[in-house]
Chains A and B, each alone.
Chain A
Amino acid sequence: MPQRTARRAGGRGTRRFTRRDVVVLGVLLGIPVLLDVVIVWGPALASVGLSFTSWDGIGDIHWAGGDNYEHLVEDYPAFWPAVRHNLLWVAFLGLAATPFGLFLAVLIDRGVRFSRFYQSVLYLPVVLSLAIVGFMAQLLLGTDQGVVNTILDNRNDPVDWLGDSDINLWMMMLAASWRHTGYVMILYLAGLKAVDPALKEAAAIDGANERQTFFRVTFPTLRPVNVIVGVITVIEALRAFDIVYAVNKGRNGLELLSVLITDNIVGEAGRIGFGSAIAVVLLGVSLVFVVTFLVQELRGARGK
């Protein structure tokens, strides 16, 4: 029905719709469009605008040209680590957590014993917010009173899991993956259930072994799920914030772009122009992924 409307709206055929129809449809389409513009595009463009200014959130806004970007790239020591950590986060979730989730889904789908039990246990972390996962990580990995160090009994030379900037990011990514894996697993499980068993049987008759069946037959039919999982993985990685903020406010090895934005804009600091410049960088990074996905999707759709 919406498709038909769209096609007609451009042509001469609004005659078929009464005035009331037009009003109702206008309102129903108008509200989401308005909300989209006001809530999504308005602030995004405002951030881009503000990123060229200097503003403390109280007084006047001053034009600053590209100063913010220059200071960001050259003088702000947290910036490049944050970019690196964000990309590493994408890579880790994409190359470790997501495949592992798929692996678990395949195992459970094949019907190991107690599969219902595993399914529930692995999915359980998904109901927790990442901030809670962060708090749990602190209970486990605290230097003086954490569970892990207590078990290792290394009081004289404790491992500083969350304070050592060489390892804390990995600990955080592991904790985040714990939650992400369950999420991915459920999505793939739903996808696998929908794969027509006849396809697998046909492959088996053709003499394919299990590996071949999976990679050549099952996996390609999961394409719609793959796209969703890919998008979710990238979103999860780029919006990672609460977990590191809960642990140490995203400092000392846990810098992420989202944290730097918050530090500069939200806190007492009030470097709104500077913070906006960081936000624009994050927008840029996100756009790279969004555009890649869209291009892939459109190509895929045309291919059919």
Chain B
Amino acid sequence: MAQSSCGGPASPPVRIGHPMSRRELLRGTALGAGAVTLPALLTACGDGPGGDKGEVTVGSNASDAVPKKAFAAAFDAYEKQSGKRVKVNTTEHNEFQQNITRYLQGSPDNVFMWFAGYRMRYFAEKGLLTEISDVWRDFKGFSKALKDQSTHDGKQYFVPYYYYPWAVFHRKSLFEKRGYEPARTWDQFIALARRMKKDGTPVAFCDKDGWPAMGTFDYIDLRLNGYDFHQSLMAGEEAWTDRKVKKVFDLWRELMPYYQKGALGRTWEEAGQGLQRRRTGMAVLGMPHPGSQFPENERDDIDFFAFPEIAPEFGQDAVEAPVDGFLVAKKSRNVEGAKDLLAWLGTARAEDVYLKGDPNNVAVNEGADTTAYSPLQKKSAALVSGAEQISQFLDRDTRPDFAQTVMIKALQDFIDDPNDVDGLVNRIERQKKNIFESAS
């Protein structure tokens, strides 16, 4: 408390060597009680951060060891080039997400990490973000799809940094040993899954965390009903009771018997480890998920194939590839410094520095150096650049309240009891109406 006091001494005077009367003791207690509440008041008169224009603060959600180190390398490179200082405040990934609304309304860092698409638009719409269209004017090497993902209402708010595709991941050596072939169509996929189950290595599946199953839902919907339907379903414009949506769940049910048991008690880390130990044959996951669970010397054995085709007219056009990047909050106290950092982060070189330390992602900038890529990264980059449309992920393509409070439970209910599709979609639709209609 001593260093935070800014209004004179606050501790009660205590006379030593003098017998204290009861009254004095009482008075001391009262002052003491006041002292407890004092620190809270004192912070109000402190000098807030942001006065120093040579320093840019970055709110980071990259709490895992690998990306944290890679980001540190990237910011080091910026410091060397610009002569400015970057101060990173890292928060645990999920906690950062949980607190984002209050974070943006409180005293956010100058720059913060977040996601593209609806997740970004939601905050732009609420007026919590600073427009950075001027920074975007000088950017080179971003595709139109990426610019769309960074745009709300014709203005840009987001600098994409890297992405990672979702696909069907497996061990190359296991496929060779058993003679498995990558599935191109749904029927082949089901046949492959059936064979794997018979061979004692079922399809890996996990949804304890609540989000991994969303990837499979997204892909079946994208392949069956196409990207446009999927996006308007996510935007709340289609009815969940539509026959098309029920069909998604019906198809998904065909896969259920070939999954490993106990999906609702399994985290994605455990699913990745199961794949690594050859207990399961394949898994629909994002690239960093198995990637981070394999020891370094076995990472070359990870391979993937694109999620199989269901309706021929949609082929394998869409790829689910969540984009992570940087934004500036409306309340940022150093917008100038923030934009300078963003301008650098949008260059190909900035991405090269990062990806050197984190081989589980792929650069978004076309100018990025791909010669150092691992074969898996090269394949991922090819998958994404060949995509007609890029979706983000269920919890990034729709309202956060809908994803969090409705869809997590709905998909877990479906996994628990795949037979009551009618009841399920009715429940989703009713809650969807409540949420989307109450939107202000």
The chain A residues found within 8 Å of chain B, CB to CB, are 20, 24, 27-28, 31, 54, 56-60, 62, 64, 67, 71, 74-78, 142-145, 155-158, 160-165, 168, 248-249, 251-252, 263-264, 266-271
Contacts and interface: CB of A to CB of B under 8 A. Distances in A.
Interface stretch (B93-101, B142-150, B308-316, B335-343): B93-101
B68 interface: no
B270 A165 contact: no
Nearest to B265: A163
B97 A143 contact: no
Interface stretch (B245-253, B290-298, B346-354, B430-438): B430-438
Given A251-B210, A269-B404, A59 B126 contact: yes
B401 interface: yes
A270 B400 contact: yes
B26 A77 contact: no
> Which of B128, B266, B439 has the most C-beta atoms of chain A within 10 angstroms of its own C-beta?
B266
A251 B312 CA distance: 37
Contacts of A270: 101, 400-401
11 contacts: A28-B26, A60-B440, A75-B427, A75-B434, A77-B409, A144-B262, A144-B279, A160-B264, A162-B208, A251-B408, A267-B97
B264 A163 contact: yes
B65 interface: no
Given A144-B270, A144-B274, A268-B101, A163 B263 contact: yes
B404 A268 contact: yes
Interface size class of B (residues with CB under 8 A): 35 or more
B400 A143 contact: no
Interface string B398-426: 00110011001110110010000000000
Nearest to A163: B265
Contact of A58 (B33, B105, B265): B105
A170 to B, nearest CB: 14
A82 B401 CA distance: 19
B262 A269 contact: no
A80 to B, nearest CB: 12
Interface in B262-286: 262-266, 270, 273-274, 279
B412 A252 contact: yes
A144 B263 CA distance: 10
Contacts of A165: 264, 416
B274 A78 contact: no
Contact of B405 (A54, A162, A269): A269
A158 B265 CA distance: 11
B226 to A, nearest CB: 28
A162 B105 contact: no
A76 B210 contact: no
Interface string B51-89: 000000000000000000000000000000000000000
Contacts, number: 126
A164 B97 contact: no
Contacts of A263: 404-405
Contacts of B26: 24, 28
A144 B101 contact: no
Contact of B265 (A59, A142, A156): A142
B29 A76 contact: no
A71 B128 CA distance: 29
Nearest to A165: B416
Given A164-B265, A252-B412, A271 B405 contact: yes
A64 B440 CA distance: 12
Contacts of A161: 265
B265 A143 contact: yes
Nearest to B408: A251
B30 interface: yes
A251 B262 contact: no
B98 A75 contact: no
A145 B270 CA distance: 8
Contacts of B413: 77
Interface of B: 23, 26-27, 29-30, 33, 97-98, 100-102, 105, 126, 128, 200, 208-210, 261-266, 270, 273-274, 279, 400-401, 404-405, 408-410, 412-413, 416, 427, 430-431, 434-435, 438-440
B416 A268 contact: no
Contact of A76 (B30, B209, B431): B431
> Which of B128, B265, B279, B438 has the most C-beta atoms of chain A within 10 angstroms of its own C-beta?
B265
A45 B327 CA distance: 37
Nearest to A156: B200
A56 B440 contact: yes
Given A57-B102, A267-B400, 8 more contacts: A27-B30, A74-B430, A75-B430, A75-B434, A78-B409, A163-B265, A252-B264, A267-B404
A143 B32 CA distance: 52
A62 B30 contact: no
Contact of A248 (B100, B105, B208, B404): B208
A77 B427 contact: yes
Contacts of A143: 261-262, 265-266, 270
B115 to A, nearest CB: 11
A64 B416 CA distance: 34
Contacts of B128: 58
> Which of B200, B264, B274, B413 has the most C-beta atoms of chain A within 10 angstroms of its own C-beta?
B264
A291 B217 CA distance: 48
Closest A-B pairs by Cβ, 4 of them: A163-B265, A160-B262, A163-B264, A269-B401
Given A143-B266, A251-B412, A268-B98, A54 B27 contact: no
A57 B400 CA distance: 13
Nearest to B424: A77
B264 A164 contact: yes
Nearest to A20: B23
Contacts of B434: 67, 71, 75
Nearest to A166: B416
A28 B30 contact: yes
A31 B31 CA distance: 11
B196 to A, nearest CB: 14
B438 A54 contact: yes
Contact of A144 (B33, B273, B412): B273
B273 A64 contact: no
Contacts of B101: 56-58, 268, 270
A98 B55 CA distance: 57
